[in-house]
A and B are shown apart, each in its own frame.
Chain A
Amino acid sequence: MKRWNLILALLLITSMLLSACGKPTPTATPAPATEEATTAPATEEKVTVTIAAGAVGQELELAKAAAQRYMDKHPNVTVKVLDTPDLVQDRLGLYLQFFQAKSSEVDIYQIDVIWPGDLAEHFVDLYQYPGAKELAAQNFPAIIKNNTVDGKLIGIPWFTDAGLLYYRTDLLKKYGYDAPPKTWDELHDMAKKIQDGERAAGNQDFWGYVWQGNAYEGLTCDALEWIDSNGGGTIVSPDKKITINNKYAAEALDMAAGWVGTISPEGVLGFAEEDARNMWQAGNAAFMRNWPYAYSLGNADDSAVKGKFDVVPLPAGRAGHGAATLGGWQLAVSKYSKHPDVAADVALFLASPEEQKIRAIQGSLNPTVMSLYQDPDVLKAVPFFGSLYDVFTNAVARPSTATAPKYNDVSTLFFKAVHSVLSGDTDAQTAMEELELDLQDLLGYESATPE
């Protein structure tokens, strides 16, 4: 009997332990991290607006400074900046909790480029507020189009991103190339030659080309670039036709599958942005596909490739032009906000050319306003922005608007199919055939060939 008491006590203690440390509960709504509400209630018109903003790198600092500038101009408004998780998926989880509760706690949300379609029902149409039309016209049309759902402007672009090809200028010169690759075939040949040469010279960890091959949203971006640059369309076309099952798409995926283990490490199938960057920045890769953020980090003092690389648009396939997947963040005003008009004004202020210019110079965040790519002050601070202009005008958007609110399912099906092709589990044709059927079941759209 005594024995059993002991065991029971043990049971109890361990179960408490288990529930305490075994299972991390999802974080509930976090307390606003910054700028406590003003203690003295001022005049009655005093309005508080809260922004849920990113905190990657300098983002939070820049957002707070911008909020302060707004408050200086509008003394009756308090702008609070709420710190949100770094990982996109975690941030979405937090936002969804606010929406589920129809919470007015947050007025302005910083939303990812793939969310406007999915989350449109929670945001106001910014076109109904003064100044929005004019500001939208100054932005890249592709980004505005991505933010437009049923004619409504869901978010105002804040900063943007697009896939780029990083290449080692010193190695290209060493192996007798005078220009970066224009096509995927050229890239393959150059990568192979440099890789063989560098390995023979003693660096057995050297690889030709690194990119993002893990089964996650990043692979959707990479694969979309291969397929679109090969004339294989954009998975689902803007007019809601499923276009993925075509021979150019399959050809592009076969091409990429052929890189794995030859010019790219087998582990690339587990790579995200930072894995690729770490390898590249250690000097162990000739080419890398990544977002613009890797540029300033690659030129930091602790980087082995400092001053030895440059960026160009991604190579072209059969389509004759390269494609860069569009990334970036927008500001959207919550429908559940108590002061949508003030919130919209704050959002438009933060996304204005003046503010974007400050962010570009201080944080090297890519503006969405076209004219800033020719702005001498910006180009002086971040010279490579000039060459990005063409990349953004040719950027390809993920089919998030056409597939809303099912984009995440579509993307998951897509990257899982691509991943199975890359890892050799299925061939590209079968995978795309199955994906087409999956997408038909999911979306109910018809199939078509890409234009």
Chain B
Amino acid sequence: MDKKLGITDLAKREERLAYTLLIPTFLILLIIAFYPLGSVFYSSLTNREFASAEPVKFIGLQNYSDLLSITIKELPPKLDDAGQPVIDEKTGEQVYERSIKILPREPRRYREVSQFSLLGKRYVIGATDRDFVRAIWDTLLFTVISVLLETLLGLGVALIVNTNFTGRGAMRAVMLVPWAIPTAVSSRMWQWMFGSTRTGLFNVIGQALGLSNGQTPFLTESAWQLPAMVAIDVWKTTPFMALLLLAGLQLIPSDLYEAADVDGAGKVRQFFSLTLPLLKPTLAVALIFRTLDALRVFDLFQIVLAQKRYSMASFTYYQLINNREMGYSSASSVVIFIMIFVFAIMYIRMLGGVEAE
């Protein structure tokens, strides 16, 4: 394409100059981005141990299959000696065979992740690394719920502080406080508020309202763990979302609203027909940021839940630092990288579509 006839020497020289000037940038990119990424990818194909003189062996995609292998098996009903299905006396429900007997052990062992019933049959999901599979699921769930809540709340906050009222400047500053607190500090703060006895704020409130006995272990009971994580994250990053959306709102010219008023459109109609479409590009950018950030959430999980429950990033951390599995943790990093990459491409497609409109 470039080799069009009639291209002048000047243009060629300029092109050469442009490439020459780009060389430093490419070199820096090569050193600070591609080299580390490449070496992580390479060590993900080995059994390298962190800080050890053990010889490093190339093991191909073994780490990846250990991380990601999943199987689903049907659990047969448990039969007693007479060949009759066993019924639990207390609940009156069918008892199934224990999953440890059903899940394959060779060549690699599968551990139970969870069970579900479908069409009257019982199935068990097994994974070679159930912690990582759970971490992926938990991180995705965390990402979707927290980003959704942050977007809705952030939009609300942005709309409020975009209107005219006295003290608006102060309000905008105050709004940013949670975002300004380092995650390590806010995580600790929330950890105390979620305290499992009446030293914790939520237990005190719960007891005052008669909802609990003041001893709810929010951070150890699995049903409460993710909601707690989402609550902390929403509290912390809603201001960020609001800030981004506020910037987008301010770009919408006010005469559009005046025209809409003249045409007799109500506030709700104005919001859906004017504000939302015009805010879409900003919204897309904000969503990219929050989603990619939420997918690699580390500090929140590492500080509050530690090894009780992992996010993908905190799983990687514990594999590297505690278990010194550098190859294995590199593989899980690459998985995180690929997932984020997929999300990024999806969003950029969306964004590109918006731009074309």
Contacts and interface: CB of A to CB of B under 8 A. Distances in A.
Question: Which one of B182, B196, B220, B247 has the greatest number of beta carbons of chain A within 10 Å?
Answer: B220
A22 B183 CA distance: 8
A267 B217 contact: yes
B197 interface: yes
B109 interface: yes
A434 B165 CA distance: 63
Q: Interface residues of A: mostly helix, strand, loop or mixed?
A: helix
B157 interface: no
A214 B50 contact: no
Contacts of B219: 270
Given A23-B298, A423-B220, A10 B293 contact: no
A10 B222 CA distance: 38
A235 B282 CA distance: 56
B contact face: mostly helix, strand, loop, or mixed: loop
A14 B244 contact: yes
B195 A267 contact: yes
Interface string B275-312: 00000011001000100010000110000001110000
A266 B51 contact: no
Contacts of A122: 51
A96 interface: yes
B346 interface: no
Contacts, number: 118
B168 interface: no
A39 interface: no
Nearest to B219: A270
B298 A18 contact: no
Nearest to B292: A18
Interface stretch (A148-156, A319-327, A408-416): A408-416
Contact of B215 (A96, A99, A265, A408): A265
Contacts of B196: 265-268, 270
Contacts of B221: 266, 423
B182 A419 contact: no
B51 A99 contact: yes
Interface string B305-322: 011100000000010011
Nearest to A93: B321
B172 interface: no
A377 interface: no
Nearest to B213: A204
B176 to A, nearest CB: 12
Contacts of A16: none
B8 interface: no
Given A24-B184, A96-B321, A434-B111, A266 B52 contact: no
B323 interface: yes
B251 interface: yes
A437 B99 CA distance: 14
Contacts of B98: 430
B350 interface: no
A121 interface: yes
B215 A405 contact: no
Interface in A334-373: none
Nearest to A282: B199
B261 to A, nearest CB: 23
B78 interface: no
A408 B324 contact: yes
Given A3-B251, A96-B324, A412-B318, A267 B285 contact: no
6 contacts: A11-B285, A216-B306, A265-B217, A279-B197, A412-B318, A438-B109
Closest 3 CB pairs of A and B: A267-B196, A96-B51, A269-B220
Interface of A: 3-4, 6-7, 10-11, 14-15, 18, 21-24, 89, 92-93, 95-97, 99-100, 118, 121-122, 204-205, 214-216, 265-270, 279, 405-406, 408-409, 412, 415-416, 419, 423, 425, 430, 433-434, 437-438, 441
Given A214-B306, A416-B307, 5 more contacts: A11-B285, A99-B51, A266-B217, A270-B308, A405-B49
